[in-house]
Amino acid sequence: MTRSDVPLVVCPECGAENNSFANVCWICRSPLYTGKEETVEAELVPPTASSGRGKVASRLAASAFGMLVLGTVPLALGALANSLDGLVSFLLVVLPLVVVISAFILRGSQSESKWIRHLSFAVSALVVTIGTVILLGIATIIALFAFCLMLIAGH
């Protein structure tokens, strides 16, 4: 903002131009405003949620959704490898449950209701925790298998 952008007020006594932020004239020192104050109606704006907290919840929800999807694929392949009956029960029981939980996690994290957001956050944390434990278990089994192969190859 430059000086030319500041609105000017004309002094009622001497006619000098003053900046609109001044209370008295810069030349004659008479008051520029006569006490007629303008009332402005203010609108109350509801507080918004912390953006950091919202980002954490949405990232956790996305992680939980990803773990549910990635966990469902091996289950489907296992059900298919077992028999066609296993795939039918998978499609009737497991898949709808995964879809409902995923929808709740993703939609609940953006809900207006505080309780639904908290419940969605808790379910997301639970899914991510269980998924992480399962992935660590799989990694441990793979590491033990590799260790056994190294022992066998060494003899």
Is 23's pLDDT higher than 90? no
Copy the structure tokens of residue 90. 């998978």
Say what the pLDDT of residue 99 is: 84
**Domain count for the chain:** 1
Q: Does 10 fall in a domain?
A: no
Asked, for residue 99, whether it belongs to a domain, the answer is: yes
27-85 pLDDT, tens digit per residue, is 999 988 876 666 667 787 776 655 555 677 778 888 888 888 887 887 777 777 777 77
Residues 6+ apart with CB under 8 A from 59: none
Question: Rounded to an integer, what distance in angstroms lies between the CA atom of residue 82 and that of residue 135?
Answer: 22
* Residue 12: Cβ within 10 Å count: 13
Instruction: Give the per-residue pLDDT at 2.
Output: 66
What integer pLDDT is reported at residue 48 of this predicted model?
62
Establish if 50 belongs to a structural domain.
Answer: no
The 3-state DSSP class for residue 16 equals: coil
Distances (CA, A) of 61 to 13, 15, 56, 109, 147: 67, 65, 8, 7, 36
Residue 20 inside a domain? The answer is no
Instruction: Look at residue 103 and tell me whether its pLDDT is greater than 80.
Output: yes
- The rounded mean pLDDT for the chain is 81
Residue 77, domain member (yes or no):
yes
More confident residue, 17 or 72: 17
Q: Are strands 17-19 and 8-10 parallel, antiparallel or unpaired?
A: antiparallel
The amino acid at residue 60 is L
Residues spanned by the domain of 144: 58-154
- What are residue 110's phi and psi, to 5 degrees? -115, 15
Please report, to the nearest 10 degrees, the dihedral formed by the alpha carbons of residues 118, 121, 125, 131 taken in order: 140
Which residue intervals of the chain are DSSP H helices?
Answer: 51-82, 84-89, 95-108, 114-154
Are 29 and 14 in contact by the 8 Å Cβ rule? The answer is: no
* 9 within domain boundaries: no
Q: Phi and psi at residue 33, in whole multiples of 5°?
A: -115, 135
Q: What is this structure's pTM?
A: 0.51
In a domain, 121, yes or no: yes
Query: pLDDT tier at 144 (50, 70, 90 boundaries)?
Result: very high
Q: Is residue 97 part of a domain?
A: yes
